[in-house]
Every structure is written in structure tokens, then in C-alpha cells.
Chain A
Amino acid sequence: MTFTKGLGYLTISWGIIAYGWVFLFTSIEVNQGISQKIMYLHVPVILTSYLAILVLFISSIGYLLTLKSNYDMLAVASAEQAVLYLAIALISGSIWGKPTWNTYWTWDARLTISLITFIFFSGYLLFRFLGPVGEKQSKAAAVLAILGFFAVPLNHLAVNWFNTLHQKTTIFRSDPLIDNELYYPLLACMAFFFFLFLWLLILRVKLGIYKKKHLIKLFS
């Protein structure tokens, strides 16, 4: 069994266990009711999207320094996943917002930043896929990704100076503001999405390498 296959099995079984735990063994939250279960999707996907953006940033730097195409493939693969997870986070957040804030959308700081980040990385993917393939385009995309990475905290700073409806940091602090009964299944769901990200990343890069080899054979 290869590493990728093993990781695939681990991801799927971990997902079944984590979400089984969430739906079968975790109590329903008193104030929000069943809608609180969306948290187990919303929080892990937004964090995984940040991880994907970080990988995109590092691989873009790697590409500019070495000009190795594997870094470029890694950048595309992580950008694709970043966009996917951001889309899921926006949709799930919107669904969660209706019962808790009584609205599907509000121009809250974090929501606005997530939307802007989603639009930017979607634009980045269009930049990658609609244009000609080549070193020049890959270099330009790498610089855009790096600039986009720096734009995220700038946007965060700018938008956060407005008032926000969103709650402050709940999980990543020394004393998490969440009960252990909800906290541990949430960590399990986060681990599932991190495994899923890694698994899909490896598969996508392998596909990219295969496609490249195939094209070289086809044209040689």
C-alpha cells in the first residue's frame, strides 16, 4: 500500500469517526440547537483554507527561488483547495448565520475578509487557467500569490477597524471559551480536514506531474 492510499484510508475512516462522534455522541447545544452542528464544518474548513493559503505562499516563494515546476504545481493545488474551503466556509457560515444572527449575510469584518479573500484567490485561479502556460505566467502568478498573502493581514487590519458582529477568538487561546464536550469533537473534525487537505494535495500534484509527463511524451 502506497503512502497516498494509506492517507486516503486514514482520512475517510477519521472522517467517519469524527462526524459520527459529532452527530451521535455530542449533546445538542442549549442556545443554538441543532444548527450549532454547522460549527464542525465551518470552523475546520476556514482554518484549512488558511493552511492552504500558507502552503500557496511558501510554494510560490519556493518557485521563484528555484523555478522548479513541482513548486508551481503545489501552488495551483493549494490555491484550488483554498478556494474550495473558502466557498464552503462562506456558505456554511451564511446558513449558520440565519438562526444565530437572524440574517444570512452581514457586512461583518471577518465575513467581508473571507469574501474578499475568496474573490482574490478565485481571480488567481482564473489567471492561472485562462492564460498561456509557461514560466513567465508561473512567475507572475507566484508574485501575485505572495502579494495576495500580504494583502490578507492588511485587509484584516482595514476591515477590523470597523465594528464586528463576529465573536472574538474562541478556540485558539490559553483558556478556550468552549466546553470540552464540544471542543474535542471539533479538534477531531479539524484533524479530518487537515488530512483531507494533505491527501487531495498529494493527489493533485501527482496528477499535475502525470499530465506534464504525458504532454511531453505527446509532443516529443
Chain B
Amino acid sequence: MIFTLEYWRKEFLLHWRQPQKLLSILLLATLMLTLFHFALGARDKQEFSIGIYWVQFLIIGALSLQSIMVSDERAGMSSLIKISKNSPLLVYGSRLVAILIFWAICQGLQLILVGILYDARFLSELGWLFLVVIACGAGFLGLGLSVATAMSNYPFLEFILPLVVFPMVLPIFLSGIQIFEGLLYGEPSISPWLKLLALSDLIFVVGGGILYYLID
């Protein structure tokens, strides 16, 4: 258990020791928001704020997963898992938590950015929106982490990974978008979407764990 916590800490520091990673993600997000501003012109920007945020969610997700793949490839992660005395499931859990924390920081800052630049309602509901984003990130990153590790030595990996992961986790995206709508506009009712999100999270976190175990 102590070793697992140590593993989790190392994994988190691995991300945190590269502040340029977080900085580049935030700069890219700001650039995208600027481009959306030009594309939307004089139209009401609040109307598009949810869509804009989720496009960013997707792109940042793809970039984060790609960065995991690149670091896995460099570190020879598959071989490391093989020689590690820990169960692959514990390694998976620790890595998932570490990546989720990094992800939460990125997404929290982006929510604030969208709130400031596009839609002030994001700031008033920030806490709830943040929780939804974390819930969406768990399932998405759970599956994505395992697929990324399985594909760490693939050619064209940056293209294939989204092709494999995104269509599967679509219910997560749809639930997230609908819950955002529900929280910001009062419609639709969020309870069925919360259930769908919980079910999807369960399937993809557990499925991701099984996949990670089998890669070993």
C-alpha cells in the first residue's frame, strides 16, 4: 500500500514537474477561445459556451492521453509493469488518480477561463460543473489510460487513440453536455443523465482496469 502511494506520488510529480505542460494546455485553450470569438462574430456567445467548453475538453483529453503515451513509450512502461511487484490493478488505480488530479487542475482553470471570457454563469455554478467534469474525466481517462498504455509503441498513435476511445466514451460526453445544460439553463432534467454518467464511469473504469491487467 505504501509503495502504491509512493507510485501515485511519483506519477503525479512526473506531470507536475513539467509546468510547461500545464502552461501549454492553458495557452492552447485561450487561443481556441480567441478563435471561437472570431468565428462567432456578433452572435450571442453565451449560447455557444457549453459547446465551446466541451470541444476544449475533447482536445485537452486527446493531448493529455497522447502525452501519457509518449512518456510511456520513453519509459518502457510495459516492461516496468512486468518487473513491478505491485499488482497491475494497483498501478492502474494510482496512475488514474494521479492523472485525474492533473486533469482536474487543467479543467478547473479552463472552466474559469470560459466563465470569464464567454459565460459568467459558469462561475456561479463552478463547483457543480467542476464535479461533473471530474466524473466525466474518471471514465474517459480510465479507459484512455489503458488503451494509451496498450498502444504506446504504435505508429500513428495520436490518430488511432481518439478513434478507439472517443466513440466508446460518447455517453460520457453526452451526459456531461446535458448535465451542463441542466445546471445552467434548468433544462433538461439531470437525473437520467447522472445515472447514465455513473453507469458509463463504472463500465469504463472497470473495463480500463481489466485491460490494464491484461496488458501485463
Contacts and interface: CB of A to CB of B under 8 A. Distances in A.
Nearest to B188: A161
A119 B163 contact: yes
Contacts of A14: none
A131 B203 contact: no
A116 B168 CA distance: 8
A117 B166 CA distance: 11
B160 A154 contact: no
B102 to A, nearest CB: 24
Contact of B160 (A130, A139, A161): A130
A54 interface: no
Contacts of B163: 119-120, 122-123, 126
Interface residues of A, number: 30
Chain B at the A interface: mostly helix, strand, loop or mixed? helix
Nearest to B192: A161
Interface in B141-173: 143, 147, 150-151, 153-156, 160, 163-164, 166-171
A147 interface: yes
B164 A154 contact: no
B139 to A, nearest CB: 11
Nearest to A153: B171
Most buried by A among B143, B166, B168, B171: B168
A150 B203 contact: yes
Interface of B: 78, 143, 147, 150-151, 153-156, 160, 163-164, 166-171, 174-175, 192, 196, 199-200, 203-204, 207, 210-211, 214-215
Given A136-B150, A151-B170, 5 more contacts: A116-B170, A120-B168, A150-B203, A154-B200, A157-B196
